[in-house]
Amino acid sequence: MVSRVRIPRTDLEVHPLCLGGNVFGWTADVDTSAAVLDAYLDAGGDFVDTADSYTWRVEGNTGGDSERVLGGWMAARGVRDRLVVATKVGSWPERPGLSPANVRAACDDSLRRLGTDHIDLYYAHRDDPDTPLEDALGGFDELVRAGKVRHVGLSNFSAERLTSALTVAERHGLARPVALQPHYNLVERAVFEDELADVAASADLGVMPYFALAKGFLTGKYRPGDAPDTSGPMASARAGGAVEYLDDRGVRVLGVLEEVAGAHDVPMASVALAWLAAQPTVTAPIASARTVEQLHTILPMADLELADDEVAALTTASEDTRLDA
C-alpha cells in the first residue's frame, strides 16, 4: 500500500508522485494520455497537475487541451471523486494575468473543460506585477467562498513576492495559499534552497516541484557526447536544455543516481524523485509521462526510501562547486 502525504493546512492526502499533465493532448495523444492516467490510477495515484496554458497549437485544438483531455478521461471513467486536481491561471495568452475578472473567467473555463464543479488546488501560474496582490488574492478568495476552488497555490513567485502574498492574505482575511510550485530538482537547487525554502518552511507550505527530472536529464537518457534530439514534437527546447546539464556536476549526479538505482533495482528517474521527496518542505514532486512505459520508470519513487547516506551522496554530487570558487 503506497503511503500518502498530506498537503499542509488542508485535508488533502495525496499520492507522493503528482502526475504532470503538460503532455496530455500534445506529445501524448488522447488515447495514450488515457492509458497513462489509467495506469497511474491503478497504481494508487490520485494527484494530477495541469494548467489552462497547457494548450498546443495544432489543427482542431481550441485551447485548454490538457484540461480537456483530463476532463474527458475523468468523465469516461467516472473517477472525479477519486482525484485531487490542480490547475493554474495566469500564463495563457488568452487569459493572461491575475486580475479578479480574469481569475473568475479562467476558473469557469477550466471547470467547464475539466467537467467538474470544483478545483482542488488552483495556482496562480506566475506573478502578475500589474495586479495588486490584494486584488489577485481577493479574486482567488471569491472562488474559494463560492465553492469553486478548495485551496489556493502560487507558482513561479520570488521569495519576496511570496512573503508579501502570505502577509496580504493574512492581513485581509483572504484565502491563504497552502502550496508552492517552484522549479527544483537535483541540478536546479540554488533558487529554491537559497531563496524560497525558508519561506515555505516557516509558512508551512506544501511544495510541489516542477521540472523534477530536469527536462529528462535525470532519467539517465542523456550522456556525455550526446547531441540534442532535433526530431519530434518535444525536440528543441526540452532535449537541448537537458543536454546543457552535461557538465562535470551533471556527470557526477548521473553516476551517483546510477549507483543508488542499481542498489535498489529501480530506474534512475525514481531515485531523482525520491531525493526530492526527501527534502524538507517537499510534499510531492511533479513528473509527467508520455507513455505507460515512461510512467513505470517514475512510479517506484512512491515506495522508495533512500538511506540517509544515499540522500547525502546525491546532495554532495549535485552541489555547484563553481559557487565556491
Cite the active site residues.
54
DSSP secondary structure string for all residues of 44-65: T--EEE--TT-----TT--S-H
Distances from the Cα of 166 to the Cα of 10, 104, 136, 141, 170, angstroms: 16, 21, 12, 13, 6
Cβ–Cβ under 8 Å, residues 95 and 102: yes
The rounded distance, in Å, linking the Cα atoms of 206 and 93 is: 28
Cβ–Cβ under 8 Å, residues 48 and 21: yes
Cβ–Cβ under 8 Å, residues 143 and 120: no
One-letter amino acid for residue 201 of the chain: A
Distances from the Cα of 295 to the Cα of 43, 103, 265, 316, angstroms: 10, 32, 16, 28
Cβ–Cβ under 8 Å, residues 241 and 185: no
Tell me which residue of 219, 255, 261, 245 sits closest to 320, measured CA to CA: 245
Cell numbers representing residue 153 in the block:
497555490
